[in-house]
Structure 1
Amino acid sequence: MQLEQEEQRSRQLEEQRLGRFGASSDVRGLTDELERQWAEQEAQERRRVEDYARFRRRQFEEWERHFAAERLRFASEAEFCAAKLRQKARVAAAADEQFYASKRDTWHKSERALPEAEGDTNLAPEERQVMKELRSVLGAPRETQKAKVKDLLIRLHPDKNPGCTEKAKQLFQFLQEQRRAVLGL
């Protein structure tokens, strides 16, 4: 009996369900309606995402244009600064050239003022050779002059010439005097 009551109760529930939704075609209609609504929601969501992507793309392009303009502005300022530094360097080089040109003329005059024949007649042959080597680098750059003097000092040092220490000492001292007089080192 209880079984019968349960079966009857389930039939009633089934009839109520079918009564509410109608026949099975109504169920299909309902599922079709739900699928259409879901598809519509999905299409709306897709449009919303695409609109947002377009908005972000436009915003990114706007930022890129802005940053390009800023880079151009700062790059031109940087180029201007570099040009200004080059100009300062040219002005400084011209000032140095003007200052040292007069000095160079006096150096060359002093070189000519030391005639080899007159001043060198009282010198020993080794001392004349030292003077000749010093004069050979007179118009050269400072680094070349220093290198030549260092080479001569090493070559004429008394410790490097143990066979003739007295003569080496005399030449070494002569070289040190002459490097100040001739080259100003």
Structure 2
Amino acid sequence: MSAEQIVFYFFAALTLISAFLVVNMQNLVRSIFLFFVTIFSLAAMFVFAHADFIAVTQVVIYVGGVLVLMLFAFMLSNRELLSGLEQFTSGFKIAHLAGLLICAGMFFLLYSAISSANVTNLPWIKNSHAIGQNDNTIHQIGIHTMTRYLLPFEVVSVFLMMALIGAAHLARKEKRS
């Protein structure tokens, strides 16, 4: 096993472990900071896949926008909301089952759509080649983003939407009676 493979597997394991801890962490601040670790390790995996633009874009968008927004929403939220988060019970409820079924259904739908698509026979993809020194890199990045890296691109968009909804929920002020 080469050193490059060892580093890749390290970042893959770090991504999986930190993502698991983000979901299962009870403390919101620690979960947000573990999300930083997940983002940076996923960006490192994109670098190994020779998708430098996607890696840099992911770090800039997530760290520069979404996570800072989440941290500000957490810091500006009222204490009643935070105390309600600490008293959350971790038992399994029927709502969790419904969420898991919806998530599995959406994953199956996205996977079947991507696996059944025959993107290699499109003429604008057949004419694409490796990026040369004098080539239009924006054109090549667009082709690779919409073909080879479509699934990570869509996952990033779903995460951005989830982060926006979560930050808006945390920053929302409750009416006092």
Which TM-score applies when normalising by structure 1? Answer: 0.26
- The structure richer in helix per residue is 1
Which TM-score applies when normalising by structure 2? Answer: 0.27
